[in-house]
Structures are given as C-alpha cells and as structure tokens.
Structure 1
Amino acid sequence: MSGTDTASLAVFALVATLVSVVAWRHTRATTVDFFLAGRRTGMITNAGAICGDYLSAASFLGVAGAVYASGLDGIWYATGFAAGFVPVLLFVAAPLRRLGTVSLPDFLAVRFDSAQVRVAAVVSVELVILSYLVPQAVGSGLTWELLVGQGIAGLSPYATGIVVSTVAVGGIVVIGGMRGTTWNQALQFGFLLAVVVWLSALLWAGGFSYPAAVEQASAEPLQAVVGDRLVGVTNQLSGESARFGAPGARYGPIGQAALLVTLVLGTAGLPHVMNRYFTAVTGRAARATTVWVLGLAGSFYALAVLLGTAARVMVAGRAEEPWLAELTVDGVLRVPEHALLVLGRLLAGTPGLAVVSAAAFAAMVSTIGGLLLAAAASFGHDVVARIWRPSASPRVAVVAGRGAVLVVSVLAAVVAISVEPERLVATFPSVIATMVTWAFALAGSALTPAVLLGIWWRDATARGAVAGIWTGAIIAVGALVVGLVIGPDPSDGLSAVLLAPAMIAAPISAVTIVVVSRLDTGPSVRPRVWTRMHGTAADRQTERMAQITLRGRR
C-alpha cells in the first residue's frame, strides 16, 4: 500500500471517528435520541444521509460493474435503484413520519395494534438487514484486496477488508448512534458524489464521448470471464451474440420485469432507509426530503452508468500494462466490481485509485452503519423494550441495541468471508448488485405490501398483516433458495423470477392481507392512528389535545 493509499484511509477513518465522538457528546441515553437523532434532522442533511445510506457498494461499485459486464442491461440496476423512491415519495414518506414511531416494525405494530405484527416484522427486518449487510462486507473485502493487497493476523486481504470494515463501522454506530451515523452518511455521500463528478470531469477533459464509447464497446461481441478464459455472451432476446449497447445481454423480457419490480417495491421495505424518515421534523419535511433524494440519487446513477461504460473501453485499451494484466483476461476484468477502482487509477494514477477506494469504503461504511442502526432499533426498541421487557428503561433499550450492533457485525463478517466472489462471477456477472437484489426481494415481498396497505386501506387488520408478512417472507426465501440451487438460466423466465421473486411474492402477500382481513372479524385501524397518518394538521392537533386531556383525567 502506497503512502497515498495510507493517507486516504487514515483521513477517512479520522473524520468518521471525530464525527462519531462529537455526536456521542450530544447524544443522551434515550431511544428517541440514540435511534432517531431527536427527530431534529434537517431536510437537506436527511436527504444526504438517506443517499449515503442507500448508495451502497451495490450502487458505487455494483452499478458501474453491472454496466461494465452487461452493457445496456446493467442500466436496469441504476433505473430500479433510483425509481424505488417514487412510490416512497407518493405513498409512504409523509404518513410514515406522521405516525411518530421509532422503526419500521414499530410503525406496523402501532398501525395494526398487534404484538404479533411486531414479531413478524422484526424477523423480516433482521433477514433483510443480514442479506443486505453481506454484499457490503464483500465489497469492502474486494476494495481492500485491490488497494492494500495485504492481510492482517494471518487473514487473507479479502477477509481483512471485511473484518476491518465491519468492526470499524460497528464501533462508530455504538459510539455515535443515529446522530453520528447521520452526519457521517451525509458527509460520505457528499464525498461519493464529488468523486463520481471528478472522474466524469477527467473523462470529459480527455475528450471522452459517451455515444462514441458505446459504439466502440459494441463493435465486438460481448465477452465475459469464466475461469481463466473468455466466453461469448448470448443475447437473451435474439439468441445471437450479445453486444454492449443492445438489450438482452443478461435478461430476457421476464427477467427485466422481475428485476425492476423487485427493486422498485423493495425500497419502501428497506428498514435502514425507512428508519431515516422517522428522524424528519414533520411529514411534509419527509416528503420534501424524498424529492431531494430523487434528484441526488438520479444524478449519481447517471454518472455511474457513464463511468461503467468508460471502464469497458479504457480497460480493454490498456490491458497490456502489467498491473492491469493481473486483473484481466484478454482485456476483460475478472471481477466487474473492480471497474470503478481500476478506472480511478487509469485516469489519475495511484492517487486516483486511493481516492476511489476511499469513496468505495465511504459507500460501504454509510450503508453498513445504517443497517447496523436498523438492527439496533429493531432489537433494542421492538424486541427488548416492547416484547421481552415492556417496563425496561430507555437506557436498557439503548444498551441492548448497541449489543445487537456487535452481534450482527460479527455474523455478517463470518458469512461474507465464506463468499468467494471470483467463483460467483461466472454465475452472476455483477456479484454485489445481484446479492443486494436478494435483500430488495425480501423487503419488497414481506414488508412493502403490509406498509402500503397499512397506510392506505383502513380495513387491513392485524391478522391480515401477520399472514401477509409471513407469506411474503416464506415465498421470497423459498424462491431464492430454489433459484440458487438450480442455478440461474438467463434464457429461462422462471429462473429469473426465482432470483428476483418480488414480482410474484409481493402480489401474493398483498392478496393474503386483503383476503384474511376480509374474513377477520377483529378491529381494523384505530381512528386516532388513522388521523395521525392522514388527517390535516388541525385534526392531528385536536387528537393530541384529546389524548393529553384523557391522560390528565386518569
């Protein structure tokens, strides 16, 4: 590792630690302060933090890697990731914040007035968190492997990167809570955006043209690395050789639809992203924040697509360089997720690699931090303070949440170390983006239907929500397991749906909620809960005053 690399990582670690310590000094041992930053996060800060939370390794390394590996078909990831905030803006953000809860399971439990709903939601949330954490840790291992190339304490460079990232971020979250995580995420997103803008500016200053690059990359049939050789990629729409600039390099029509539906539906069920809306000052601020998120995330993904295309052309043109020859087979990268890292070195030498690597770590640290905080909230608040020990003090809930952070960090690191990215590349051309899609599938199948129907259908009942959450989770997990066992077949629509199952699991979950709720004779939503989600400001103030009066009479 060069002096530049060391300096970049040292500065990055120092800033993150200082921010967390400052946040710790301003954080009280209360659930609202530790888990929600006191509900005083400003609109712009929250938008930056949401982007930092959302733009994970799958976004920073994965989207560029998917475009590098699959050309036009890789853009579906960027489209789905960005479009996922449209339903959040239209249907979720404001009502979610107005109810005034602490976490996604807490929101569902209060809406349906049910401990069983809370349990089902907590289990689903923890599954989503773990399945989302693992690819982030994999990305940190790949980045460390390329940047540092050395292990610690007998570990491989890949395993060392995983351990360092999970332990470091776990410590940051334990110290700083939501306040420290918010500031870190907002700063890290600003750094991410600056890096992709900087790389794009270097390209344009060198005369880069996106249309010309697509044309150049499409001149020859698309090839991928399998083992130590190149194999041709078949177009799933025409059966001919795939081209970089033509659709069908990876997905057929059903596969494209399944991927987009999974990504769009999954966003509203991601606990680490939705929990950020509880930190907004008001429901209106939550909705306005989402508008900012759409603009910022859309700009980021557009530039990521451009950079992935540039990497495809530039790597092939300079593959004879010794350092690059080790990472390629006949001009094609062995691991597509290296595309952005390699592009940084091609454009700006070793300092460029160091800067892009620091940005990659920032992306992973932001998302890992958000995921660990979501795990802390669901365990500390929902499990300990609401299920196991309802009489527990806020301090006990915070301590339990901090303990959950450490446990989940270790579990994610163990699972990620067992993953072998280079062996998976032959099966999944963009490993990190593909693995994150599985987390979106779980979230979109188990949680999103309950969230949407809970917000917009008054007659949805607790039994219906429990049945829908479990049904969606079981179908999604079962489909993913079957899909992984039989292996992906791009030409088979069923295989594509099994690996992005929200297209079938989410509708079944929603229908289950509706049918069971219709058959259920139990109560539906409480009037005051509905008023808090959908009433005018005057209605909500009247309801709050009524509750204060009732408590005073007691």
Structure 2
Amino acid sequence: MSGSYAVLAVLLVALATVLVGALGLRVSRTTSDFYVASRTVRPGLNGAAISGEYLSAASFLGIAGLVLAHGTEMLWYPVGYTAGYLVLLLFVAAPLRRSGAYTLPDFAEARLESARVRRVAAAFTLGIGWLYLLPQLQGAGLTLRAATGAPGWVGGVLVALVVTANVTVGGMRSITLVQAFQYWLKLTALLVPLLFLLLAWHADGAPAAHQGRPVLVRDSVVRIDQQVRVRTAEPIRLTADGTVDGRTYQHAAFTLPPGVHTLGAGTQLDLPAHTPVPTPVDGSAGSPWGRPLTATDEPHPLYAAYGLILATFLGAMGLPHVVVRFYTSPDGRAARRTTLVVLALLGVFYLLPPIYGALARIYAPDLVLTGQTDTAVLLLPERLIGGTGGALLGALLAGGAFAAFLSTSSGLAVSLAGVLDQDVLPRSGVRGFRLATVLALAAPTACLLAAPDLPVADTVGLAFAVAASSLSPLLVLGIWWRRLTPPGAIAGAVTGGGAALVAALGTMAGWCRGGWAQALLAWPAVWSVPLGFLVMVLVSLATADRIPPGTAATMARLHLPEPPRRRPGPPHSRSADAGAGRPDRRAGVSR
C-alpha cells in the first residue's frame, strides 16, 4: 500500500470528523445537549450512531482476519456482539430511557436511592471504559504504522486529539452526527473496494478458497519478523534463509517434516504454490474458542467458546458507550425502534468482512504464518489489483479503519466524561464536562505513550466479561426485580465484576498454565456472570428491609408508557422528561 495515499486518507477522515462534529456546536448550549443531546435523537440517526461506535476495528479488520485464519466456521463470532442488542431491545432499552438518567451511575442511584451504589457503578463504568479505550488507541497506532510506517504512538495520539476536540466542542450533539457519518463511511470504505476486488478475482478465474488450512495459490516469499513456533501437518518443501529449529540456513532448500518448528526472527521462507501454510502454535490462529470442537493445543476449547459468547452477549448492555446512547432517545418507544435499526445496520455491515476473509484465504494466506491476519483487509487491494488503483483502494480501507477507531473512541469518551463530570470532579456543568473529556482520554493516552508495546489485545474481552458480570446484573435486576436492595446490588456487582477482573488479570500474569484452572481464569464469564446474579439476589433477599421506599414509583416510571410529549417546548426543558426524570444531585445542572 502506498504510504502517501494512506496518510492522505487518514488525514481526510480526521478532518471530515472534525468538520461534521463542528455542526453540533451550533446547537449545543446546555448540559443536557452535552450529555444526551437533549433527548431528541430520532431512531434512524441514533441507530446509525450506535452502529458507528459499536463497529470498532475488531469488526472492520478482525472478522476478516478470523475467517482467514479459521475459515467460514468463524462466522458465528459476530453473533454474540449483534445478539446482545436483542437483550437490550427486549429488557433494557425502553425502561432505561424512561428512567430519565444521564449516565449508568445516575440510573443506579435513581433506582436504588443510594449514593454508595452510584459510586460502585461509576467505578465499574470508568474501569470498563478505559479497558475498552486503551486497545482502540493502540490499534490505531498499529494500523497507521502498517499503512504508512509511522511510529506506533502517532495513530493513538491523533485519535485522542480528534476525539477530544469533537467531544469538548459539541458533546453528545457532535458525537451523534460524527458516529452516524462514520458508520456510512465505514460501510462505503468496505463496499467500494470489495466490488473491485471481486471483479479482479473473477478476472483471475475465480479460484475457490481452500477448505481447512489456507493454501498458497502462487509462489510466495514470507519474512518472519519475530520468533514464532509453527505447526505443520504434512511435509513442506521450502527454501530458507535464516534460522529454523536452531539451525542456520543460507538460501538452502530442504523438506520441513510434520510437527512443531521454531522459526527465528528475520528468517525468510520461499514457499512454492499449493503449499499448506504452517499455522502458529501461539497467537490468534491458535485461540481455542476459534476451533471449539477441533482445537487440541489449548485446554477445553468448547468451554472457551461458551465463555466468549456469554461475555459478548450480556456484556454489550454494560458497555458505557452503548448504554449512554439510549438516553438520547425521545422516549422508550423510540429507544426500541433505535435498537431495531441497529440490528438491521449491523446485519448489513457484517455481510462484508467475511468476503474479505475468503479472498484473503486465496491471496494472502501467508499472513497466518506471520500472525498479521488483521492486516488482510488493508493488503488485499495491493495483492489483487496493484498499481495506483490498488493503492487508492487500500487508502480508502485505511481511512475506514481509522474511522472505526475514531467512532468507538468518541462514544467511550463522551460516556466516561459524563461519569467523571458528575461523580468525580468537584463542579459539574458544561465546563466540567469539557475538563472531564480531557481527563477521560488523558489516562489511556498516557499509558500508551509510557508503554507503547503493552500487550492489551485481550483487554476488550476483559471489558466484556467484567461488564457482563457487574453492570449487566445491576441493569437487568434493577429494571425487572423490585426486591433488589442497595447492599445486594453492591455485593453482586463487586463479587461478579471483581471475580472476572481478577481471573482475567491472573491469566495475563500466567498464574495457571494448563488444564481447567487456565480455562476457568481465561474465560470467566461462564461462572462470574451467574455468580454476580446469584450474590445480588441472595444478599437482596437477606436485606429485604433495605428495599428503597420509592421502589414502587420508580418501577412504574420504568415500565409504564410515557405521557405524550408537550409541543411546543424547548427540548432541554423538564417537560421533555415529564414523569421520567429527577433533579440532578448537584445544583446548577440543567435538566
């Protein structure tokens, strides 16, 4: 890919993002505008905005990489992400909007009438948000480095600066417009190159992707940048220049026998056409959940698959940048319609990455060997089309990938800023919100600059697991079970979320190296989610005398249809939320 074209595409996406976000400045005046766009975002726009922020680079680049590494059996992977919105649609969207809350801690305090529950919810919201935000910044740096050769920290800092500018200028108003724009940009960035790639594939005789392991369709030269252990299922004839299994070769031809082999850093392999690509023993190609019925190199892969599905299915409702968007709907009915729009838009988007993955299995199977499967989408135009046309299409894809980082980071920033403004900073309001935005992005950016090579790829899964085990029980039981008490909510959230956090951190630290112990720690959602619900229920039953006195009225507000909205009336007035709001805990915050 031409680095100059990619740089231009990234800069144009950043500029367009700032310009679209500036439109929100013209109508953002009150605190309600900055927090929830004065609750006036219609389902079509809100659905596009939610889809824009939810479809991060894990969807834009990662799905194709998984199909490249594992084949079409990986098409189940996006189901957990998308199906989570069914839970939101059925159980959460409308009641959450009727609560009149600005943030998830705001909802927790309104429902349980407890400042302690609010603080616990705020702590989990910030922790989950930062866990999700850090890999977005690091991924932006890695993508920009792959496309242009820039230092790894540049992309992350650029994302942080653009997002900070948009959120501080217009708050939720700006971010809504930006994320809706970026959804259609990402869809276009995938669709347009794909049309040309399919034409080039057809002109090449429409070769079919090999079933099972990826197989090279032509002679290929692969360079190994870092030492890697690979497995071969059959003898492979190759020419090596470097170190293989501790022996040094200088452009020597030999046969690599079946088994596990170690390739040294800097080794170059000349592989002939029709050669099955050796697969790494470690890394994404060896993830047990990717092959739940066939993986043999990791413990209990089927359990791992269930752990991932449960974390993504229930964790979606606990992600702060997802939940906050439902507060922007005019009413509960609009919140439900928004969720339906999201399901449709996500379904359309997820039709495209698997096709990129299938093409990559034909034209870029060597990426499995180098562990760079996530770059398949960016490299396909160069390999199939080449020349200026391939460079331009690759630049369009790089711009789309960068938009994915921007949109997800924007949603996280605005949700974290709301929590910091209301629960951490001494003064609230528009100025406090802007300062909170800077702080929300400063923490992960500083971490990125201090440790640019920190392995944070697993923190997205960790964020889902913690959210599913802490905030998900709080939302579901808070909305549907009137006997929930503040002690029960705190005990369940801390026990479930804390257990998931400790387990995942223990896995990263290498506490267990095999067997059920490793599987249970690496994929904690299977047991930490039931634990969170169970503790929340049992402690609430044991403290039945602590049920908040206003529970009946709160539950009625959550589940009864809203009265017709008054017209005319300023969108940020209390009348817009009649019967569905409450005075903010701080004076001076416009409701």
Q: Same fold (TM over 0.5)?
A: yes
Match of 2:382 among 333, 338, 345: 345
2:153–2:452: 8 Å Cα contact kept in structure 1?
A: no
1:373-432 per-position Cα deviation (integer Å, ceiling 9, x unaligned) = 011111112444xxx5xxx5xxx43222222221232221232346666x96xxxxxx74
Higher-strand-fraction structure: 2
Letter in 2 for 1:339: A
DSSP 3-state at the match of 1:231? strand
2:176 to 176, 182, 186: 182
Name the CA distance, whole Å, in 2 between partners of 1:41 and 1:191.
Answer: 20
1:505–1:193 distance in 2 versus 1, CA, 3 Å: same
Q: Residues 224 and 230 of structure 1 are in contact (CA less than 8 Å); yes or no, is this contact kept in structure 2?
A: no
SS in 2 for 1:332: helix
Report the counterpart of residue 551 of structure 2 in structure 1. 526
Alignment of 1:50-449 (within 5 A): 50-72=50-72, 74-150=74-150, 157-207=151-201, 212-215=208-211, 217-218=213-214, 227-229=226-228, 231-232=230-231, 233=279, 248-249=294-295, 252-316=301-365, 332-347=369-384, 348-384=389-425, 396-417=428-449, 432=457, 434-449=458-473
- Specify whether residues 241 and 515 from structure 1 end up closer, same or farther in structure 2 by C-alpha distance, changes over 3 A only: closer
CA separation in 1, counterparts of 2:420 and 2:16?
A: 28
Q: Percent identity?
A: 34
With over 3 angstroms needed to count, the CA separation of the structure-2 counterparts of 1:248 and 1:288, relative to structure 1, is farther
State the AA in 2 paired with 1:474.
G
Alignment root-mean-square deviation, CA? 3.3
For the 8 Å contact 2:18–2:162, the answer to whether it is kept is: no
CA contact (8 A) 2:197 2:381 kept: no
Correspondent of 2:524 among 501, 504, 528? 501
- Residue 246 of structure 1 and its aligned partner are, at CA, apart by 9.1
Any conservation in 2 of the 1:234–1:241 contact (CA below 8 Å)? no
Q: CA deviation at 1:72?
A: 4.9
The residue type equivalent to 2:163 in the other structure is V
Q: Which residue of 2 aligns with 1:427?
A: none
Asked whether the 8 Å contact 2:280–2:369 carries over to 1, the reply is no
Q: 1:547/1:288 Cα in 2 relative to 1: closer, same or farther (>3 Å)?
A: closer
Deviates more, 1:290-299 or 1:203-212: 203-212
Superposed CA offset, 1:467-497 (max 9, x none): 11111221111111111112786x7444233
Moved more, 95-104 or 61-70: 61-70
CA contact 2:68–2:214 (8 Å) conserved in 1: no
1:465 is matched with 489
Q: Secondary structure at the match of 1:536?
A: coil
Equivalents in 1 of 2:4, 2:182: separation in Å? 22
The structural deviation recorded for 1:537 is 3.8
Partner Cα separation in structure 2 for residue 235 and residue 540 of structure 1: 60
Cα offset for 1:60?
Answer: 1.3
Amino acid at match of 1:536: P
Matches for 1:23-42 after TM superposition, within 5 Å: 23-28=24-29, 30-42=30-42
CA offset digits 1:426-453 (Å, max 9, x no partner): xxxxx74x43111111111110011000
Please give the TM-score of this superposition, normalised by the length of structure 1: 0.83
Alpha-carbon distance in structure 2 between the residues aligned to 1:473 and 1:307: 36
- AA at the equivalent of 1:298: G
Q: SS of 2:352's equivalent?
A: helix
Task: Specify which of 433, 453, 468 is matched with residue 477 of structure 2.
Answer: 453
- Measured against aligned partners, the alpha-carbon deviations of 1:18-65 in whole angstroms (never above 9, x if no partner) come to 12222112110x221101111111111100100111111222122223
Is the alpha carbon distance of 1:450 and 1:207 closer, same or farther for their aligned partners in structure 2, counting shifts above 3 Å? same
Q: Do 2:101 and 2:327's aligned partners in 1 also have CA atoms closer than 8 Å? A: yes
- Contact kept, 8 Å, 2:65 with 2:374, in 1: the verdict is yes
Relative to total residues, which structure has the larger helix share, 1 or 2?
1
Measure how far apart 1:159 and its partner are: 1.2
Q: 1:458 corresponds to which letter in structure 2?
A: R
Q: Aligned pair count?
A: 505
Deviation at residue 68 of structure 1 after TM alignment? 2.8
Distance 2:581 2:102 in 1: 20
Distance 1:281 1:467, change over 3 A: same
Q: Does structure 2 retain, via aligned residues, the 8 Å contact 1:76–1:256?
A: no
TM-score calculated relative to the size of structure 2: 0.78
Question: Over alpha carbons, which structure has the higher Rg?
Answer: 2
Q: 1:24 to 1:497 in 2, by over 3 A?
A: farther
Q: Is the 8 A contact 1:217 1:313 kept in 2?
A: no
Q: 1:487 to 1:547 in 2, by over 3 A?
A: closer
TM-aligned CA distance change 1:337 to 1:253, over 3 Å: same
Shift of 1:334: 3.5
Q: Can you list the C-alpha shifts for 1:141-195, whole angstroms capped at 9, x where unaligned?
A: 1111022213xxxxxx111112121122112211121011110100001011122
